[in-house]
């Protein structure tokens, strides 16, 4: 009886030992994947891909991703850009096939919203951090119903850059009125100095130049608001005058400006062969790379009444692919893009103006320009409001301006064709 009791006592131990022995021959149970979290979001370990047209920014985005991974090490992010001229086609083809990157650079305004209307972009109305931005930045990726589709990354601005040495050597000062601006050009021309580095070979440069000087003639924001309300249009005398001014400026361009493109005019300014360069804020690091010793500043274009403007717009947002299988993780990354930490890194590494207000830069020129965009901004309406139509109204303006510079079209005809195109689709003109 004692022997039987002994075996009864040992039996449970033997069973446990047998079970342990059997389990040691099997694969160990998988551990639960670590998670990253940000407030309400908890995300299992995933990999995200980012599509973009910024092939030149790969190394910079690696630093962005590294900063993101300091708090979210379990969300692996790959930045895979496509050549700028091929990006739209590659992205659209992938999205139509139900594929594409989890996150992608969304073209601003109408071009990006067309993808949203087609159902390819995820709404992010509840994304934390959107309140960081002013409405002027959010509207670049917001539809008429108020749905938000993208997180704005940077602002672009256009203005006149000028060579400080050329100005100082010739006793010239930054113009405070339109008349002073024109006198400045005449003085430079008389001294044998190219006043304005500008060419008309690439049509987009012409809408950009009009975006800078046009507001000085039709008083910028007042005309812009009247156009949006349908109270004025492109047959307005002030707008026609702005086209005439574009034609008047041609004599200050380099010789054979019809054959000069972006690379040519940048080189003229960087090598100090031209006194002024009307272009975008993104050119600052490019010009300095060509000539690190170049001492240049900028000035807002002054109007006849002395009002000064720099022309601004949101130059891209990041959006989530509606077909992504990793939307929650993508939202975590987009929330990171709304933070001050990202804004400061962006300004430092990219030498661009952050869409997040109040972010300063160690680059004095960029820092001053950033402040101007907060106090002297006028919208680049050809991008913000007139990329609709087929062809777009912006494209019509560019084509007709090229014809004007070749002496084939008068400014009244340019205005009429721009208006005729806009009237086919722009609702305020159809009242």
The pLDDT-based confidence of 254 (bands split at 50, 70, 90) is very high
What's the token pair of residue 113?
A: 């919203």
The pLDDT-based confidence of 162 (bands split at 50, 70, 90) is very high
Spell out the residues 6+ positions from residue 121 whose beta carbon is closer than 8 angstroms to its own.
106, 112, 115, 149, 150, 319, 320, 321, 322
Stretch 148-153: mean pLDDT: 98
In this model, does residue 29 exceed pLDDT 50? no
Nearest to 110 by CA among 317, 386, 319: 386
Query: Residue 341: its pLDDT value, please?
Result: 97
In DSSP terms, which residues pair with 320 in a beta bridge? 103
In this model, does residue 8 exceed pLDDT 60? no
pLDDT, tens digit, 9 for 90 and up, residues 331-379:
999 999 999 999 999 999 999 999 999 898 888 999 999 989 888 999 9
pLDDT, tens digit, 9 for 90 and up, residues 287-330:
999 999 999 999 999 998 889 999 999 998 999 999 999 999 99
Stretch 110-117: mean pLDDT: 94
At which residue do the structure tokens 């890194």 appear?
345
At which residue do the structure tokens 């008047």 appear?
248
Query: Residue 304: its pLDDT value, please?
Result: 86
In DSSP terms, which residues pair with 44 in a beta bridge? 35
In this model, does residue 33 exceed pLDDT 90? no
Query: Residue 173: its pLDDT value, please?
Result: 97
**Quick one: what percent of the chain has pLDDT higher than 90?**
84
In this model, does residue 35 exceed pLDDT 70? no
Query: Residue 253: its pLDDT value, please?
Result: 98
Nearest to 218 by CA among 375, 378, 369: 378
pLDDT, tens digit, 9 for 90 and up, residues 72-82:
999 999 999 99
Averaged confidence pLDDT in the chain? 90
Stretch 25-39: mean pLDDT: 40
Query: Residue 42: its pLDDT value, please?
Result: 53
Stretch 126-150: mean pLDDT: 96
Query: Residue 38: its pLDDT value, please?
Result: 46
What's the token pair of residue 304?
A: 């006849």
Question: pTM value?
Answer: 0.83
Query: Residue 305: its pLDDT value, please?
Result: 86
pLDDT, tens digit, 9 for 90 and up, residues 218-245:
988 999 999 999 999 999 999 999 999 9
The domains of the chain, with CATH numbers, are 35-153+315-338 (3.40.190.10), 156-313+379-425 (3.40.190.10)
**3-state DSSP of the chain:** CHHHHHHHHHHHHHHHHHHHHHHCCCCCCCCCCCEEEECCEEEECEEEEEECCCHHHHHHHHHHHHHHHHHCCCEEEEECCCCHHHHHHHHHHHHHCCCCCCEEEECCCHHHHHHHHCCCECCCCCCCCHHHCCHHHHHHHECCCCCECEEECEEEEEEEEEEHHHHHHCCCCCCCCHHHHHHHHHHHHHCCCEEECCCCCCCHHHHHHHHHHHHHHHCHHHHHHHHHCCCCCCCCHHHHHHHHHHHHHHHHCCCCHHHCCHHHHHHHHHCCCEEEEEEECCHHHHHHHHCCCCCEEEECEECCCCCEEEEEEECCEEEEECCCCCHHHHHHHHHHCCCHHHHHHHHHHHCCEECCCCCCCCCHHHHHHHHHHHHCEEECHHHHCCCCCCCCHHHHHHHHHHHHHCCCCCHHHHHHHHHHHHHCCCHHHHC
């Amino acid at each position: 009886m004692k022997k039987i009791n002994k075996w009864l006592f040992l039996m449970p131990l033997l069973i446990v030992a047998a079970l342990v022995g059997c389990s040691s021959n099997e694969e160990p149970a998988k551990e639960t994947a670590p998670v990253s979290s940000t407030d309400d979001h908890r995300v299992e370990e995933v990999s995200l891909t980012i599509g973009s047209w910024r092939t030149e920014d790969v190394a910079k985005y690696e630093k962005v991703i590294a900063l993101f991974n300091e708090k979210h090490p379990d969300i692996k992010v790959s930045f895979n850009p496509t050549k700028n001229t091929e990006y739209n086609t590659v992205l659209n083809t992938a999205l139509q096939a139900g594929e594409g990157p989890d996150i992608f650079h969304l073209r601003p305004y109408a071009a990006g919203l067309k993808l949203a209307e087609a159902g390819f972009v995820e709404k992010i109305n509840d994304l934390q951090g959107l309140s960081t931005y002013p409405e002027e930045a959010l509207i670049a990726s917001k539809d008429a119903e108020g749905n938000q589709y993208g997180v704005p990354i940077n602002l672009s601005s256009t203005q006149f850059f000028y060579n400080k040495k050329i100005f100082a050597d010739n006793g010239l000062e930054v113009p405070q009125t339109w008349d002073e601006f024109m006198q400045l050009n005449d003085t430079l021309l008389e001294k044998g100095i190219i006043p304005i580095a500008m060419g008309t070979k690439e049509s987009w440069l012409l809408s950009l130049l009009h975006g800078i000087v046009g507001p000085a003639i039709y008083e910028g924001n007042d005309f812009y608001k009247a156009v949006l309300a349908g109270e004025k249009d492109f047959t307005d005398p002030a707008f026609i005058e702005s086209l005439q001014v574009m034609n008047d400026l041609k004599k200050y361009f380099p010789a054979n400006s019809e054959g000069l493109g972006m690379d040519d005019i940048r080189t003229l300014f960087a090598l100090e062969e031209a006194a002024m360069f009307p272009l975008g804020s993104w050119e600052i690091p490019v010009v300095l790379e060509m000539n690190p010793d170049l001492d240049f500043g900028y000035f807002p274009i002054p109007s006849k009444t002395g009002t000064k403007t720099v022309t601004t717009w949101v130059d891209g947002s990041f959006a989530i692919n509606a077909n992504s299988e990793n939307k929650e993780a993508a939202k975590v990354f987009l929330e990171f893009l709304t933070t001050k930490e990202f804004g400061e890194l962006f300004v430092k590494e990219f030498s661009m103006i952050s869409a997040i207000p109040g972010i300063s830069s160690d680059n004095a020129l960029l820092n001053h320009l950033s402040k101007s965009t907060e106090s002297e901004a006028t919208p680049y309406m050809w991008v913000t409001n007139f990329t609709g139509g087929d062809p777009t109204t912006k494209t019509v303006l560019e084509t007709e301006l090229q014809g004007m510079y070749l002496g084939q079209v008068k400014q009244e005809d340019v205005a009429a064709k721009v208006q005729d195109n806009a009237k086919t689709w722009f609702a305020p003109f159809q009242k």
